Structure formats: C-alpha cells, structure tokens
Chain A
Amino acid sequence: MIVIVGNTKGGVGKTTLAVQIALARAAAGHSVLLIDADRQGSAQNAATMRAEGGRTPPLTCVQLADGRLLRAQLSPLAAKHDDTIIDAGGRDNESLRIALLRSDLLVVPVQPRAVDVWSLADIAELIDRAQEAREDEGRPRLDVLAALNLADPGDNRDTTETVEALAGFPQFTVSAAIVRRRKAIANAMAHGLSVAELQPRDPKACEELEQLISNVFDVTELAHGNHTAIEAE
C-alpha cells in the first residue's frame, strides 16, 4: 500500500505523521519504505538519528524530491515493500502531484487553526484534479483521510470548528483521531523514535497516534468520498 502524507499548507506535521506511520508499521512487522519527497530532508534526518542510535527495526528512507525521479522510482520501490509512506513537501509541487496520482491513500494533516482551514480549498481542488486524472488513466479513486494534528490539548472550539469545516469538503474522510500538540511526539521525532518507543512513555500521545494509524489502514474499507468520522477500534 502506498500512503502519501501531504498538504499544500506547510507546518501541519506531515513529516512527523509520515515517520510515525512508517515506524508503527515497521514495528508491526511490515516491510516499510519511507520516501522523503521534501527537499528539506527532515524525514531523512529522523531516519539518520534512528540509525545512529542503533534502534531496531531500522527505518529505511530514501529522498526522492525530484518529481520526475519519483515518477520513475516509486512503482519499482513500492513493489519491494509492504507499505510505502511518502512525506510530501509543504506546497503544491510536482512530486506531490506524482504521489497523488500513484498512491492508494492520501493522509492530509490539518491543524485546527483558521489559516489551515482557509487553505483546505487548495488541497481539495488539487485532490479533485488528481481524481479526474486517475479516472482518465483507469486508476481507482484515491482514498483521502483528513487527520487533525497539532490540536491544542483538551476540548476546544478551534478543534470542533475545524471538524465542522472539514465536513463541508466531500473530498475528505475525517479521522475520529485527534493528535494533539505533545512534547513527547516532538521528542520522539528528535531521536527518530516512535512515540511508543520513547521513555518515559506518554500514554495519551501513544493512544492518539495508535488511533490515527489504525484509521489510516482501515480507511480503504470505507465507501469512497464518505466523510463520516471513523470510530477507532
């Protein structure tokens, strides 16, 4: 399965979620490839920190930020792994578009902030165009899961209103998981660790990410275009 974590809006935690999804799948025994399609190379840095820390399982990560190279390499690389997770750069670019054409699922991290909600129309429009292009090529529709990320801790109006705004976009299925801004997640990333590996353990951070990741791999079973919230197991 090829999963792209992408949003045309930057600063929404794409790299964090991509690395956490990849690590969770690797820990579950899957053969995982993380593709860093962002020129900043932050996912690669996380993979390097993990390797230098001697952690197992290793996180296999390659950087393919050039769109044409990604187009050429994605299928043969993905064929060698159970799961391929792509961390796309934080803007509309060629590698994001190639990944939208070739992936099975797009995870869109959305920060519950006004600026992020305003930007939803941009990624929604790109998704529409990608779906048209996929249909033209005879490819199945791209599944799209919007994931609330970097939310303020506790129930708050911003988060509720962002969920309401997302419901207005038929392009997204909205995950019931809400990943909040937690120091444990940032600390885990700094060492290339999953939150489950970080000591001392932050049970809330672990639970939120577990719920999101289970949604990511359940979403293809849902009806396409259905934006009903998914209940975690």
Chain B
Amino acid sequence: MAITQPSKRSKADAFAAEAPDAKPAPKLRGKRQTITFGLPPDLIAEIDAIAAEESRSRARMIEIGMRQFIRDYRRGAAARDAA
C-alpha cells in the first residue's frame, strides 16, 4: 500500500507566493518567530559575556533585555500621561 502525503502548498498558493513582491510567511519555530537583525559588535560581546555569567543563551538574554525595555518604556509613558 502506498501512503501519499497531501501536498502542503497548493499550486495556487505557490503561484501567488512566487510573485516578485510576495512577502514570505513568517518563519515560526514552535511558538517563536525567527527574525534577523544586526547589532554593533561591542554590544554583542557584552550580551555574550552576561549570557555566559548567567548560563543563558544570547537569544534568551536579548529577549530578557527587550522585555525589560518594554516594561520601562510603558511605565515611563504611563508616568508622562499622568503628569
């Protein structure tokens, strides 16, 4: 018995997705979306040093930093609104 898998992308989906201006679907790893961006090398070195001290990955340290930034930013915005 041959077991065939249905194709994941129909010809119509592929046809539209191959347009020169089509935006790629977001890359998801589990519940995470992979993004690519650049940082100055000295900042990366500092992040890596802290990551080593904390036994965490670089990606995890950036995530913690961004969450901290968002909290601080929102608090600052709320304080400005209240003033």
**Which positions in A face B, CB cutoff 8 Å?**
67-68, 71, 91-94, 96-98, 100-101, 129-130, 132-134, 136-137
Q: How big is chain B's contact interface, by range?
A: 10 to 19
Do A98 and B11 contact each other (CB < 8 Å), given the known contacts A67-B21, A93-B21? no
Chain A's closest residue to B19 (CB) is: A94
Could you tell me the distance in whole angstroms from the C-beta of A128 to the nearest C-beta in chain B?
11
Residue contacts A-B, CB under 8 angstroms, 6 given? A92-B19, A94-B21, A100-B15, A133-B15, A136-B12, A137-B12
| Residue from the list A71, A93, A101, A134 in contact with B20, Cβ < 8 A | A93
Determine whether the beta carbon of A133 is less than 8 Å from that of B19: no
Chain A positions within 8 Å of B21 at CB level: 67, 93-94
Do A133 and B23 contact each other (CB < 8 Å), given the known contacts A71-B16, A98-B16? no
Do A130 and B15 contact each other (CB < 8 Å), given the known contacts A136-B10, A137-B10? yes
Determine whether the beta carbon of A94 is less than 8 Å from that of B10: no
Chain B's closest residue to A91 (CB) is: B20
A-B contacts at CB below 8 angstroms, number: 46
Could you tell me the distance in whole angstroms from the C-beta of B25 to the nearest C-beta in chain A?
10
Do A97 and B23 contact each other (CB < 8 Å), given the known contacts A133-B10, A136-B10, A137-B10? no
Determine whether the beta carbon of A67 is less than 8 Å from that of B22: yes
Q: By CB atoms of chain B within 10 A, which of A96, A129, A136 has the most?
A: A136
Given A67-B19, A94-B22, A97-B16, 16 other A-B contacts at CB below 8 A?
A67-B21, A71-B16, A92-B20, A94-B16, A94-B21, A96-B19, A97-B18, A97-B19, A101-B12, A101-B15, A132-B11, A133-B11, A134-B12, A136-B12, A137-B11, A137-B12
